[in-house]
């Protein structure tokens, strides 16, 4: 017999509606996903995992130009101190920040196999190494100067920044993708120099609209290039509302191969389209005979993309060939835009282009004020010590006598020279070698320099115009580093209008026409000679048959047929 189970009493049991319990827990989960996982902050353009990665790498001293460290070391610090999630998901986030085909301005400088545009996976984290890039340094600049607030980590043992100072317009420059609960975000990358120009215009014209800013930011700038074929009106509407999409096509050229032969060379493909999947789909459609104009596809890519498309016949129109491929393959893709971001780090909102730039600029002003106050506090502390040290040189002998003879020299110094505790401590810590005349002159120069800097900072903090002027100078410095004359700053995506081929008869386009000469004899025999033959004097006939008439025309051949269209020739003869 089993042991009898005694049910518990009703003490300590609280009854609650299942509906209320589910709503409460699902809401908590949804808020956690929205705020701490999927949506980027409008100020620095980062999700929590990316922000923690950059902060952990900074603490590991992985600055630009420093030695690389294993990615496993970085991932270990992130999941151990800041981000209690799976190591593979953190490593995937780190890898993406280093992929120059996925991120317009990489935040991580990777060494090793970080995957490729074909869609191949990166090497394991124990094999790859990483450090920060110059863009990441700009995002972290000022973190030690009280530029942003910090909070405790999940276990309370460390602190992490709520947001980064972000001297670089990262949200729009690198874009972001994420799926939360009940909402999602999709922001394509843009050109940093164009964003800087737009920000400078917005500083000079605070009430500027999105339509005015579009003169500086014409559209996205994808890391893989491509051609944007969206209309100006559609682009303007997308940026005004923060929702829409962009049609992006592969960039191609026609390459002559001699003797009338040619091929299509694709050098850029749409954003986020794996090259291997694209070529596989093209080959599959060729085998299924769904691409009547295309005979073969080859991947001749090395460091740069080079996809060769062979037409089925040299008389095929390349424009028509490419239009059919754009409709049936990922050589044309739609990149969605949904600028759903966290404003002030708390409220998810869909913003237009002008509002997103304002969020970044307002954040830069807050950072400037906080860094200025931090510097002002440091100057005040240093000036306090300098004023105390200069007293030593006014009556050096008396100070030395007090230190040598008094049991409590600190209290005697405070009493004799009316010093505070900090000043007296600084005097007692002064080395004997610093008591020379030259040192006194250096202290006076430092005092004068700091006094001038203090006056400048106090003037800055009381003048919004000076603050915006300082921010404008910072933005211009960023533009110099990522301007159109630099390799990374040059615009990669171009704009074009899609050709109209709606009225083209594709059945007619599939017919190849070759020149021929039709010959009719006196006895009614018909012959077709290749090409336009003008000299028929040596033409031989059977028996006593002779030439009656001849004329030049063209032979029509289906692209999937190898024999001449005889009925077409007969028709032409009857017409003559």
Task: Please list the active-site residues.
Answer: 127
| Count of beta carbons in the 10 Å neighbourhood of residue 144 | 10
With CA atoms as reference, report the closest residue to 215 among 236, 230, 231: 236
Distance of alpha carbon 390 from alpha carbon 349, whole angstroms: 56
Cβ–Cβ under 8 Å, residues 228 and 247: yes
551 backbone dihedrals φ, ψ, rounded to 5°: -155, 160
3-state helix, strand, coil in the chain (%, to 5): 45, 20, 40
Nearest-angstrom CA–CA distance, 448 and 427: 20
CB 187 within 8 A of CB 336: no
Task: Tell me how far apart the alpha carbons of residues 409 and 419 are, in angstroms, rounded to a whole number.
Answer: 12
- CA 452/CA 383 separation, integer angstroms: 11
Pairwise CA distance, residues 412 & 15, whole Å: 71
93: closest CA among 49, 46, 57, 124? 49
- Smallest Cα–Cα separation from 364: which of 475, 212, 461? 475
Q: What are the phi and psi torsion angles at 486 (to 5°)?
A: -95, 160
Beta partners for 452? none
Tokens of 103: 């991120």
């Amino acid at each position: 017999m089993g042991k009898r189970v005694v049910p518990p009493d009703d003490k300590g049991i609280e009854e609650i509606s299942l509906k209320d319990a589910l709503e409460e827990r699902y809401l908590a989960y949804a808020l956690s996903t929205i705020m701490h996982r999927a949506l980027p902050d409008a100020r620095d353009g980062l999700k929590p995992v990316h922000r923690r990665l950059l902060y952990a790498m900074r603490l590991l001293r992985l600055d630009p130009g420093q030695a690389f460290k294993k990615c496993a070391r970085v991932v270990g610090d992130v999941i151990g101190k800041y981000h209690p999630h799976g190591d593979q998901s953190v490593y995937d986030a780190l890898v993406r920040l280093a992929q120059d085909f996925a991120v317009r301005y990489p935040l991580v400088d990777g060494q090793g196999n970080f995957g490729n545009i074909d869609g191949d996976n990166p090497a394991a984290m124990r094999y790859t190494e990483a450090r920060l890039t110059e863009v990441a340094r700009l995002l972290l600049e000022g973190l030690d100067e009280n530029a942003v607030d910090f909070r405790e980590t999940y276990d309370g043992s460390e602190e992490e920044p709520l947001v980064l100072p972000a001297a670089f317009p990262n949200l729009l420059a690198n874009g972001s993708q994420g799926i939360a609960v009940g909402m999602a975000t999709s922001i394509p990358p843009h050109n940093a120099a164009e964003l800087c120009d737009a920000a400078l215009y917005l500083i000079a014209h605070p009430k500027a609209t999105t339509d005015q800013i579009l003169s500086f930011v014409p559209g996205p700038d994808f890391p893989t290039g491509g051609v944007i074929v969206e209309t100006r009106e559609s682009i303007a509407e997308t940026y005004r509302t923060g929702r829409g999409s962009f049609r992006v096509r592969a960039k191609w050229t026609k390459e002559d191969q001699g003797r009338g032969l040619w091929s299509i060379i694709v050098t850029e493909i749409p954003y986020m389209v794996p090259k291997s999947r694209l070529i596989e789909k093209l080959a599959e459609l060729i085998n299924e005979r769904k691409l009547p104009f295309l005979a073969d596809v080859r991947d001749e890519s090395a460091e740069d993309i080079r996809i060769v498309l062979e037409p089925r016949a040299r008389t095929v129109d390349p424009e028509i060939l490419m239009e059919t491929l754009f409709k049936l393959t990922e050589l044309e893709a739609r990149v969605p835009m949904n600028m759903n971001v966290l404003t002030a780090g708390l409220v998810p909102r869909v913003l237009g282009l002008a509002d997103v730039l304002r969020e970044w600029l307002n954040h830069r002003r807050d950072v400037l004020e906080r860094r200025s106050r931090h510097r002002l506090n440091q100057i005040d502390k240093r000036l306090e010590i300098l004023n105390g040290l200069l007293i030593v040189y006014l009556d050096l002998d008396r100070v030395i006598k007090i230190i040598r003879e008094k049991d409590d020299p600190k209290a005697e110094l405070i009493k004799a020279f009316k010093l505070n505790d900090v000043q007296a401590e600084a005097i007692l810590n002064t080395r004997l070698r610093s008591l020379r005349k030259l040192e006194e002159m250096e202290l006076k120069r430092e005092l004068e320099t700091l006094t001038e800097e203090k006056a400048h900072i106090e003037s800055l903090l009381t003048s919004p115009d000076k603050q915006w002027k300082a921010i404008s100078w910072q933005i211009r410095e960023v533009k110099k580093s990522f301007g159109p004359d630099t390799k990374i700053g040059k615009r990669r995506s171009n704009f074009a209008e899609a050709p109209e081929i709606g009225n083209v008869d594709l059945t007619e386009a599939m017919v190849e026409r070759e020149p021929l000469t039709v010959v009719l004899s006196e006895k009614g025999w018909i012959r077709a000679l290749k090409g336009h033959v003008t000299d028929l004097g040596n033409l031989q006939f059977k028996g006593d048959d002779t030439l009656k008439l001849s004329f030049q025309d063209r032979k029509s051949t289906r692209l999937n047929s190898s024999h001449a269209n005889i009925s077409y020739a007969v028709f032409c003869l009857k017409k003559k």
